């Protein structure tokens, strides 16, 4: 049997093979990203290592974003099928509300369980994507000849990216109905981290050395920029309707708040989905050393 402690994970480009003994490094190419991988992990050229599995990074993207998105749609279906009276045309703080906010839906008892399974289960995998962009920013210090990428941009990506995940867990676990104030504070923190992370990732994408030669990177940047602008405009819109309803009891504001929340969530999901363009040419391989007979 394979000793689990000897298992290693290799990240490589789909069209790359190298026999170097150096550590893996990130370098850009015309397809978007090239991984120069050391000799031992490249099992085709080294008889001391055995590849036991290899997966496209696209599967990592699916594991990151598909579960919470599926869980959210499932919550809407369950809510409208089972808890219809609690979601539509119900009495709320300042009169009737005709649309449910996402926070209300995912914090109903049955819907909460589904969303927790889908959302929280993908957090670990999303950490890998944050680390990917962190390393990419550090590599720009070499290609751009400036320490600012390694000293400021890369740590800021790590902090904002992980912060977004932490506060996503917080707003998922701490319900709007049970702890409204805490939920609001966690939501504000989540949006601030998300905007900072989106901005930094967009900048890193634009300053990739091969940006001018890669149509894929250019498409990724344009989508990121569009969705970043949408998110920045939508967040104060949500805040305005929130204040109008809970602060001044303007009845229509809750329905406008719910609609704005739907579009904001789609924009955030859309931005994270652009990682598919950046990870398109990467593969993950699991390798173990061969036993000596």
Rounded distance between C-alpha atoms, residue 167 and residue 18, angstroms: 40
Q: Is there a single domain that holds both residue 19 and residue 159?
A: no
Q: Is there a single domain that holds both residue 172 and residue 234?
A: yes
Contact assessment for residue 246 and residue 93, using Cβ atoms and an 8 Å cutoff: yes
Tally of domains in the chain? 2
Q: Is there a single domain that holds both residue 93 and residue 227?
A: yes
Q: Is there a single domain that holds both residue 91 and residue 227?
A: yes
Sign of the torsion angle spanned by Cα atoms 9, 38, 56, 50: negative
Per-residue pLDDT reduced to its tens digit, 61-80:
787 888 888 998 999 899 88
Place of tokens 């904002």: 160
Q: How far, in Å, are 58, 60, 95, 140, 208 from residue 276 at the CA level? A: 6, 9, 43, 20, 16
Better pLDDT: 260 or 26 = 260
Global pTM reads 0.78
Backbone angles phi and psi of 78, in degrees to 5? -65, -45
Q: Is there a single domain that holds both residue 210 and residue 256?
A: yes
pLDDT given for residue 292 in this prediction: 63
Q: Is there a single domain that holds both residue 99 and residue 236?
A: yes
Question: Phi-psi bin for 286: left (phi > 0), alpha (psi -120 to 50), beta?
Answer: beta
Give me the domain span that covers residue 142: 60-278
Q: Is there a single domain that holds both residue 29 and residue 76?
A: no
Q: Is there a single domain that holds both residue 46 and residue 141?
A: no
Per-residue pLDDT reduced to its tens digit, 182-237:
888 898 899 999 999 999 999 999 999 889 999 999 999 999 999 999 999 999 99
Q: Is there a single domain that holds both residue 77 and residue 131?
A: yes
pLDDT given for residue 33 in this prediction: 37
Whether the predicted pLDDT of 151 surpasses 90:
yes
Q: Is there a single domain that holds both residue 188 and residue 88?
A: yes
Q: Is there a single domain that holds both residue 11 and residue 145?
A: no
Q: Is there a single domain that holds both residue 181 and residue 270?
A: yes
């Amino acid at each position: 049997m394979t000793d689990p402690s000897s298992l290693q994970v290799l990240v490589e480009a789909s069209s790359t093979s190298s026999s170097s003994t150096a550590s893996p490094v990130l370098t850009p190419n015309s397809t978007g990203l090239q991984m120069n991988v050391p000799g031992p992990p490249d099992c085709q050229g080294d008889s001391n290592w055995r590849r036991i599995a290899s997966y496209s990074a696209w599967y990592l993207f699916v594991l990151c974003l598909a579960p919470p998105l599926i869980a959210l749609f499932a919550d809407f279906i369950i809510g409208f099928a089972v808890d219809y009276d609690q979601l539509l045309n119900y009495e709320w703080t300042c009169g009737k509300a005709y649309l449910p906010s996402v926070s209300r839906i995912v914090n109903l008892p049955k819907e909460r369980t589904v969303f927790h399974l889908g959302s929280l289960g993908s957090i670990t995998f999303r950490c890998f994507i944050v680390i990917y962009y962190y390393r990419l920013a550090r590599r720009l210090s070499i290609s751009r000849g400036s320490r600012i990428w390694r000293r400021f941009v890369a740590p800021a990506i790590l902090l904002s990216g992980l912060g977004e995940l932490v506060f996503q867990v917080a707003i998922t676990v701490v319900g709007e109905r049970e702890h409204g104030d805490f939920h609001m504070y966690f939501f504000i923190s989540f949006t601030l981290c998300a905007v900072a992370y989106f901005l930094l990732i967009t900048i890193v994408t634009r300053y990739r050395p091969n940006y001018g030669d890669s149509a894929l990177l250019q498409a990724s940047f344009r989508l990121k920029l569009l969705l970043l602008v949408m998110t920045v405009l939508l967040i104060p819109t949500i805040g305005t309707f929130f204040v109008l309803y809970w602060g001044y009891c303007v009845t229509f504001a809750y329905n406008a708040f719910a609609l704005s929340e739907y579009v904001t969530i789609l924009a955030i999901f859309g931005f994270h989905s652009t990682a598919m363009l950046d990870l398109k040419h990467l593969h993950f391989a699991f390798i173990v050393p061969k036993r000596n007979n």
